[in-house]
Structure 1
Amino acid sequence: MKLHRLVLTNYRGITHRDIEFPDHGVVVVCGANEVGKTSMIEALDLLLESKDRSTKKDVKQVKPTHADVGSEVTAEISTGPYRFVYRKRFHKKCETELTILSPRREQLTGDEAHDRVLAMLGETVDTGLWHAQRVLQSSSTAAVDLSECDALSRALDLAAGDDATMSGTEPLLIERIDTEYGRYFTATGRPTGEWAAAIAQLRSADEDVARCAAAVAEVDERVRRHAALAEQQAGLADHRQGIGQRLAAAQAAASALAVLADELRQAELVATAAQGTCAASSGAQAERVRLRDDVAARTVALTDVRSQLAAAIEAEHTAREVVEIACAAAAESAVALTAAQQAVDETRRVVDALAENEQAQRLTARLDRIEAAEQQLTELNRELSQITLTGDVMADIESAAALVDRIEAQLALTAATVEFTAVVDVTLTVGEQTITLPAGERWTPVSSSPTTVELPGVVSVRIDPGVTTSGAQAKLVAAQRILADYLRQGGAADLDGARVIEHRRRDLTSNRDQLAATLAGLCEDEGVGAMRARLAALREGISPALLAAGVDAGAARAAFVAAIEGRENARAQADLHQRAVAGTNVQLTEKSTVATVLRSKLADASAELDAATGRLTVQRVLAGDEQIAEQAAADIEVQRRAASRVAELARRYAAADPAAVQAELASANAAAADLDRQQTGIGQALNDITVELGVMGNEGRKGSLDLAQIAREHAFAEHSRVSRRARAAELLRSVMARHRDTTRARYVAPFRTEIERLGRPVFGPTFEVEIDSDLRICNRTLDGRTVPYDSLSGGAKEQLGILARLAGAALVATQDAVPVVIDDALGFTDPERLTKMGVVFDTVGDHGQVIVLTCTPARYLGVQDAHVIELSA
């Protein structure tokens, strides 16, 4: 598809505009903001897609607000074998006209013309590629999706080595398969539509059959249960007589057992009372024996404590004498340590004063270096402030100068050369300039722009360089104007002057950075003010008398070290004596503690012996030792006879087996109660079942089961039929999807290769990209560093988006090519990459049309073969 001409009349704010486009190459359509550049692409879409009577919002918005007229759009387009002129008027006196110029001339109007254009475009144009090959202002940094472009897919298949001939109906086949799949499954693969209805119908039929079968089985169960209950009721009547006899015997045995249990309880009460009396008398006898033994033991313990106390008192006196000797030695060593410490303090004052003097001298030298560096840094900053040329401005100057050199070289190749040689002295007039040529002298005028050379009164010669050279001259003038602006910003007269200034600026900046680093190193730990304050403090603390005495620093340090060694020796002796004092004090404390503890134990033992003797005397006053022993023996005999009576009765009670008697009585009572309960329950159940069977007999449950089984067979047949079609559609869709994914994976490589080929002049030889199966750029690699697409800068995203579209344009076949439209892009791109992108545009422009809409034509000066169209309001 190619756009040859576009005419807009009364379209938004455009009164009339008629633009012709070359068949191939880069077309730069430039104009100010709101002049209607983007409206041209919008108008072409409305012409091709909307009817003239359309009331859509997009159509209503293009009606001019300053006049009550209809908007008109006319385009001349060629696509495949067709070339036609297509015109529409919207809003007022709507009409549509189509004139087909080739392969044979035809004329149509109205909806017939609209439908014919759609048919031709549908036959020859990949509309997905037509819309994807646009870079719009609102989405210039978004990743382009070319996966649905059939023309590009065919081109990539061929580039990947697939020689199969494409019929062009593959997307339609996939859509039909997806439509068939959608009849039976949702997007997530769950049953829907006819398939879901068949599944639900079969499930409902199965539930009906199960319900009816359960109802019939319920009737059969009721009949069987009625017969079983009747048989059980007859057997219970025969069993009742035997259970009555068993219950009477169990009740008699339980009465006899109750009498024997009462006698046993009475005997146990008597035995318990005798046991208590025996325990009391035995306890009294044991307490009397314990008191006698306690008095004897305490008498022996008191004697032992007295002997231990005498030995402890002797040891305490000895330890106290040792402590007095150690304290005297410690006092002497403390006096020696004090004298040694005074000697150390005196020598330290001398050493510290000498060290502070040395530190003050070093600090003075450091402050002098800082002052000198600050003065030099101030001078360098003053010189740098007078230079207006910055690194960015210098980069712009170099880029503009390179562009001027390239255009001048191109101009030198394309411009014609005219040389005048004077045979005699002659005067020529060139515009407003007069040139005098002596005989034999040669003169060559500049022929890159139209020039008129006149020999007054004889001949006038006009030199016209042609359109190509004029365009190059216009580009050269524009580039020179940009270079002059940058030089003016940098305060330089020409490129060499700018380079000299830049060299001087870099030298001054380097010296300034070195001085700043030196100054930062000198002031790293503290500021200048703090250093001056510290110097003043050091000078105040230095003793003039000490400096006047001329004390040698080495001798002072040696005396200081000797004093420290003497102090450490004295401290070691003092520590030794202190540890000796501490040890003797510990021993004295231990001996004193032992003596004190033994005195306390002697007092306690005497008091306890007196108390035990008093308790024994009081007990003997109440009863003698022989009397207590006789009473204990008599109580033991009474307790033995009561225990024998209890044992005899317990033996007789155990022989009667009370557990078995109670169990038999409980079992007999339970059997009688269970028999009554069974007879009542069976009678009630028989009555309920008789009533239920009467009701069920009138419901026709067997007939309902037969009908449900027939309905289930029909539902199963329908389910099987739909299941085969649904599974076939699912299998076909999965196979086609797998084939499509395999095909996409195969033709990703040629697309990536083309993008990298176009991108290496822009990004460098290490440029690589990763492409997914939808032909979207996932990440970019430069110098071995890979960055995801979403993390790139706006300029890099914009450049990659244009490269992807240009790669698609370069790959598609000639008959499938569509114009690449770039609407005011590359606004985020630096000057160097703008120049490199111009080379890419020139490369791709040979394959088809590239239409650039911009309000800044300077961005595209690097496109050497661009055809520039200027728009005016």
Structure 2
Amino acid sequence: MRLHSITLKDYRGITERHVDFDDHGITVIAGPNQSGKSSVIEAINLVLTEKATSTKNAVTAIRRSGVDRPAIVEFDATIGGERFTLRKEFGRGRQAGTTLTFATGNKAVLRGDPAHNYVQDLLRDHEDMALFAALSFLQGKDLSSFELTDGQSALQAALDAAANGNDDTLSGDHLLDAAQAEFDQYFTTTGRLTKERTNELKREKTLSEEASELAEHVAETERTAQQLDDLEQQREHLANQRAETEARLQDLTAQAAAHAEHQRQKAALEAQLRTTEAQLAAATSRVQADDDLAQQHAAISERITRIEQQQAELTQVDDAELHQLIEQRDQLAAAAAHYTQTAEIMDFLRRERLHHEEEAQAERLAQAAKQASDHLHSIPHDVEVYRHAEQLRADIEGLQHVLAVSSGTITVTPLPGGDVLCNGSPLTSAHTEIISRSLSIEVPGHVTITLHPAAEAAERDAQLSRLTADYQEALDSLHVADWSQACRQADEWQEANRAHQDAAAECRAFATLHPESRRLEEAHQLTQECAGFPSDLLDQGRAGTLNVLPKADVDELQSAFTEAQQRAEVALRNYEVSASKRDLLAQELAAAQQEYAQLDPLDQAARTAHQEKLASLTTAVATQRAELAQCENCTAAFADTTEEAADNTSTLATLRSFYDDVDSKYHRLQGVLDTHMSAGYHAALVEKRAQHRDLHEHIQRTTAAADAARLLRDTLLAARQRAAARYQTPYVKTLTRLGQRVWGDHFSVTVADNLTIVSAVTRPNGIPIAYSDLSTGTREQLAVLSRLACYQLVDQGHVPVILDDILGYSDPTRREDMAAAIETATSLATSDPAMAGQLIIFTCDSSRFASVPGKHHIWEQPLD
């Protein structure tokens, strides 16, 4: 199928659009978004598949809103070697119509459904539309690579031919069908077991479970008998333990009573000892308090004496000397500040004067530029009008010359060397055309030819009148009387224009060096600084009467001020330190005297009584501790068995409970054993195991047959898959060759049986990366190249490839490489370009395919 052209009228937002496609090569259609590119692709599919009378939403949506006219698609193509023009008018009722016209003219024009059906028959008989749809890459489609599916007969035939003919492994389909039939007896289409085999397995499982249940009953009977023996032994053992525990409990109860009596005596002695020890601690605290009070009296007395000595040793600082130093420092500071400020004022006035000079210069340059501009605009001159008048003047002179030689008497004079004069001017081909006959000079001398005015002379005369009028109008608009005045005026205007440009350039240069923003900022800063200076000093500076010391004198004055300030600071610090010390000592002395006054007075008689009571209590504590130790020795002879007696009581209760439980279990299991012995579980177990063995052997035989059928079918399927894998070789070679034009010789690719891309290597020394993990730009490039690889394998006259809005995700460095790959795939680089396929690219960016040869359409305007 070859697409030649398509025309759209009143189609969606398009009023009218016509597109020609290159029959053998690449057609690039570039236009901004919303310019109708996608509508062209949609129209190709609709005109080939849908009737003009269709009421589908896809058809009704293409009609222009607010326009009561049908949407028209006129399609020129060649299918099956037959070229035709198919015109469909998609409208309502009688507006709809279909017309099929053949290029050769030897067939009648078809209309309506016969025209539509004729094209459908051509497509069905000659075109592989599944391949056409698969090779197209449309806007909004996912970035998946090409996939081989049923119905792509052209590609499958090409791949089979590239694989060197048919594979014999595909000729045994009848054997695969037989293996599949045998497989279906045992498995479903999803590979699961059939219902009959599933029921057999369930029956086997049921028999196994029933046999296991009977075996459990038999085992339970045996376990019950064994449990009865164990319970009998436990009953005897628990009865013996209970008797021993009762005797032990009586002995422990007597020992616990004796131990309790000795513990009561020990507690009374411990209470008496704690009381005496508390009295001893109180007496010790009183004696320690007496000693602490004596030490505090001595310490405070010593501290008062030390503070009084420090007060006596502290020297006085001369206040008069300090005030003199401070006064001298302030005088020097005022003088230094005054002369420093006068220096700053003089610097400020200097910068203010420079600023005023810059403002004056800017004003002068701006005034000069304005005067030059005013002078330029005062000259009545228009360059276009001047050039038009000059051209009219030349046309008038030429036409006058033509009129002079085209009528009346013409004198032709031959010259030596073969040249000819006509009315004194060199004879040219223009003259011969005007005379409207050829001149032949055969003898030397003068030849006089008399001609009547030609028919066109009147027209030239009228044209001369029109040119003369236009010329005079141009001179009037220039405000001149003749051409010489116009030339002088043009020279004067050019001179004024140069002066204006020079003045404007000088003004711009000054504005670049001294921009207005900086001058405004500097004026604002000067205003702020001016507010900080005394007005009387500013007036003196502007008048030139301000006393300004040299910098060396100001520095010397500043240095003297710094030295005086340091001396004053040292004296002030010494004075403040001395005063601070005096205040601190006074505060410490007052605090010490107050603390001494708050202390309790010393009582020596009370201290002696406290010490005697402490000695008496120390002796009493020692005596009571000896008595307590003797009592503890007596108590140790009788161990405390209260807890052990309680444990034995608990143990006895537990043993009695265990004995009752074991006796109850013994009688219950005796009844269970009697029931099991009368049920006949052993005979039932033997019968059930025989049934399970027979069914298990049958299932094993069936499973072996099913496994054989699965193995045969899988083997034949693997053979078919190996044959299909042969298609991969030519496809991978072609795709690799195209990919190496983009990523280099290191590029490689892995594909599945259906030719979809599994992984790719796009970097030197890189590892294969899964297709889904590649970047969006790389997947887009591979998706395009995979379709071009299939397209290159097929006879390129079968179907065209339509690529819509590709390389949108690709970086600019890849686009030239992709353009080269596209050119290779379409065989434009071969020796016979006429055999190249048809590739149609729609894009919103023409620069992506600028290097691709072929026919380029660039749409600048969006939809109408």
Give the TM-score normalised by the residue count of structure 2: 0.57
Q: Which amino acid aligns with 1:271?
A: H
1:421 and 1:441 in contact (8 A); partners too = no
Please list, as runs of the form range in 1=range in 2, the aligned pairs for 1:576-725 lying within 5 A after superposition. 576-579=574-577, 581-582=579-580, 603=599, 606=602, 637=627, 640=630, 644=634, 646-650=635-639, 666=654, 669-670=657-658, 673-674=661-662, 676-677=664-665, 680=668, 683-684=671-672, 712=703, 716-717=707-708, 719-721=710-712, 723-724=714-715
1:350 and 1:556 in contact (8 A); partners too = yes
The alpha-carbon distance between structure 1 residues 248 and 440, as it changes in their structure 2 partners (threshold 3 A), is closer
* 1:766-807 alpha-carbon deviations (Å, 9 max, x no partner): xxx999334479xxxxxxxxxx9548999x999999996899
Correspondence for 1:773 among 778, 782, 796: 782
1:517 aligns with 2:517: no
Correspondence for 2:521 among 513, 522, 526: 526
1:377 and 1:515 in contact (8 A); partners too = no
Question: What CA distance in whole angstroms lies between the structure 1 residues aligned with 2:15 and 2:809?
Answer: 44
The alpha-carbon distance between structure 1 residues 313 and 716, as it changes in their structure 2 partners (threshold 3 A), is same
The alpha-carbon distance between structure 1 residues 526 and 688, as it changes in their structure 2 partners (threshold 3 A), is farther
CA RMSD of aligned residues (A): 7.2
1:87 and 1:96 in contact (8 A); partners too = yes
The alpha-carbon distance between structure 1 residues 736 and 54, as it changes in their structure 2 partners (threshold 3 A), is same
1:226 aligns with 2:224: no
1:10 and 1:63 in contact (8 A); partners too = yes
- Matched with 1:153 is none
Please list, as runs of the form range in 1=range in 2, the aligned pairs for 1:180-219 lying within 5 A after superposition. 201-202=192-193, 215-219=206-210
Question: What CA distance in whole angstroms lies between the structure 2 residues aligned with 1:341 and 1:270?
Answer: 99
The alpha-carbon distance between structure 1 residues 587 and 351, as it changes in their structure 2 partners (threshold 3 A), is same
SS of the residue 1:542 aligns to: helix
The alpha-carbon distance between structure 1 residues 423 and 562, as it changes in their structure 2 partners (threshold 3 A), is same
Size of the alignment, in residue pairs? 688
Question: What CA distance in whole angstroms lies between the structure 2 residues aligned with 1:703 and 1:854?
Answer: 84
Please list, as runs of the form range in 1=range in 2, the aligned pairs for 1:788-799 lying within 5 A after superposition. 790=808
- Matched with 1:343 is 332
Question: What CA distance in whole angstroms lies between the structure 2 residues aligned with 1:506 and 1:684?
Answer: 128
SS of the residue 1:361 aligns to: helix
* 1:250-307 alpha-carbon deviations (Å, 9 max, x no partner): 3444334434444344334433332232123334444555566556555555544444
SS of the residue 1:747 aligns to: helix
Question: What CA distance in whole angstroms lies between the structure 2 residues aligned with 1:498 and 1:749?
Answer: 65
Question: What CA distance in whole angstroms lies between the structure 1 residues aligned with 2:605 and 2:375?
Answer: 116
SS of the residue 1:810 aligns to: coil
- Matched with 2:772 is none
Question: What CA distance in whole angstroms lies between the structure 2 residues aligned with 1:173 and 1:733?
Answer: 11
The alpha-carbon distance between structure 1 residues 70 and 57, as it changes in their structure 2 partners (threshold 3 A), is same
- Matched with 2:258 is 267
Q: Relative to structure 2, which stretch is displaced further, 497-506 or 556-565?
A: 497-506
SS of the residue 1:426 aligns to: strand
- Matched with 1:366 is 355
Question: What CA distance in whole angstroms lies between the structure 1 residues aligned with 2:703 and 2:244?
Answer: 69
Correspondence for 1:316 among 288, 307, 317: 307
Question: What CA distance in whole angstroms lies between the structure 2 residues aligned with 1:752 and 1:746?
Answer: 10
2:255 and 2:638 in contact (8 A); partners too = yes
The alpha-carbon distance between structure 1 residues 365 and 26, as it changes in their structure 2 partners (threshold 3 A), is same
Q: Relative to structure 2, which stretch is displaced further, 259-268 or 804-813?
A: 804-813
Question: What CA distance in whole angstroms lies between the structure 1 residues aligned with 2:86 and 2:735?
Answer: 39
Question: What CA distance in whole angstroms lies between the structure 2 residues aligned with 1:381 and 1:733?
Answer: 87
Structure 1 residue 233: Cα displacement = 3.9
Question: What CA distance in whole angstroms lies between the structure 2 residues aligned with 1:506 and 1:556?
Answer: 52
Structure 1 residue 567: Cα displacement = 1.6
1:114 aligns with 2:114: no
Question: What CA distance in whole angstroms lies between the structure 1 residues aligned with 2:250 and 2:19?
Answer: 134
1:438 aligns with 2:423: yes
Please list, as runs of the form range in 1=range in 2, the aligned pairs for 1:450-529 lying within 5 A after superposition. 454=436, 457=452, 514-520=509-515, 523=518, 526=521, 528-529=523-524
Question: What CA distance in whole angstroms lies between the structure 2 residues aligned with 1:128 and 1:238?
Answer: 86
2:406 and 2:453 in contact (8 A); partners too = no
Q: Which amino acid aligns with 2:261?
A: V
Structure 1 residue 317: Cα displacement = 0.5
- Matched with 2:549 is 552
Structure 1 residue 210: Cα displacement = 7.2
1:343 and 1:563 in contact (8 A); partners too = yes
2:123 and 2:129 in contact (8 A); partners too = no
- Matched with 2:734 is 743
Question: What CA distance in whole angstroms lies between the structure 2 residues aligned with 1:720 and 1:499?
Answer: 101
The alpha-carbon distance between structure 1 residues 526 and 264, as it changes in their structure 2 partners (threshold 3 A), is farther
1:98 and 1:108 in contact (8 A); partners too = yes
* 1:324-356 alpha-carbon deviations (Å, 9 max, x no partner): x25x34774355234312331233123213322
- Matched with 2:249 is 258
The alpha-carbon distance between structure 1 residues 738 and 643, as it changes in their structure 2 partners (threshold 3 A), is farther
Q: Which amino acid aligns with 1:426?
A: I
The alpha-carbon distance between structure 1 residues 629 and 369, as it changes in their structure 2 partners (threshold 3 A), is closer
User: Aligned residues: percent identity?
Assistant: 12
Q: Which amino acid aligns with 2:558?
A: F
The alpha-carbon distance between structure 1 residues 597 and 255, as it changes in their structure 2 partners (threshold 3 A), is farther
1:563 aligns with 2:552: no
Structure 1 residue 215: Cα displacement = 4.0
1:205 and 1:708 in contact (8 A); partners too = no
Question: What CA distance in whole angstroms lies between the structure 2 residues aligned with 1:446 and 1:120?
Answer: 67
- Matched with 1:810 is 828
1:344 and 1:563 in contact (8 A); partners too = yes
* 1:804-824 alpha-carbon deviations (Å, 9 max, x no partner): 68994734754544667789x
* 1:585-628 alpha-carbon deviations (Å, 9 max, x no partner): 6567667766766666xx25848x888778889x89xxx959x9
2:87 and 2:99 in contact (8 A); partners too = yes
1:376 aligns with 2:371: no
The alpha-carbon distance between structure 1 residues 124 and 589, as it changes in their structure 2 partners (threshold 3 A), is closer
Gaps of 5+ in 2: 30-35, 149-156, 177-183, 378-401, 413-420, 438-450, 458-490, 745-776, 787-805
Gaps of 5+ in 1: 30-35, 133-137, 150-163, 184-192, 389-417, 429-435, 463-495, 754-768, 778-787, 845-849, 857-873
Structure 1 residue 572: Cα displacement = 2.5
The alpha-carbon distance between structure 1 residues 686 and 348, as it changes in their structure 2 partners (threshold 3 A), is farther
Give the TM-score normalised by the residue count of structure 1: 0.56
* 1:620-639 alpha-carbon deviations (Å, 9 max, x no partner): 9xxx959x978995896588
The alpha-carbon distance between structure 1 residues 527 and 687, as it changes in their structure 2 partners (threshold 3 A), is farther
Question: What CA distance in whole angstroms lies between the structure 2 residues aligned with 1:446 and 1:123?
Answer: 67
Question: What CA distance in whole angstroms lies between the structure 1 residues aligned with 2:359 and 2:680?
Answer: 117
- Matched with 2:410 is 426
Question: What CA distance in whole angstroms lies between the structure 1 residues aligned with 2:562 and 2:269?
Answer: 89
Question: What CA distance in whole angstroms lies between the structure 2 residues aligned with 1:659 and 1:38?
Answer: 97
Q: Relative to structure 2, which stretch is displaced further, 513-522 or 51-60?
A: 51-60
1:789 and 1:797 in contact (8 A); partners too = yes
1:264 and 1:649 in contact (8 A); partners too = yes
2:85 and 2:102 in contact (8 A); partners too = yes
The alpha-carbon distance between structure 1 residues 855 and 517, as it changes in their structure 2 partners (threshold 3 A), is closer
Question: What CA distance in whole angstroms lies between the structure 2 residues aligned with 1:504 and 1:804?
Answer: 59
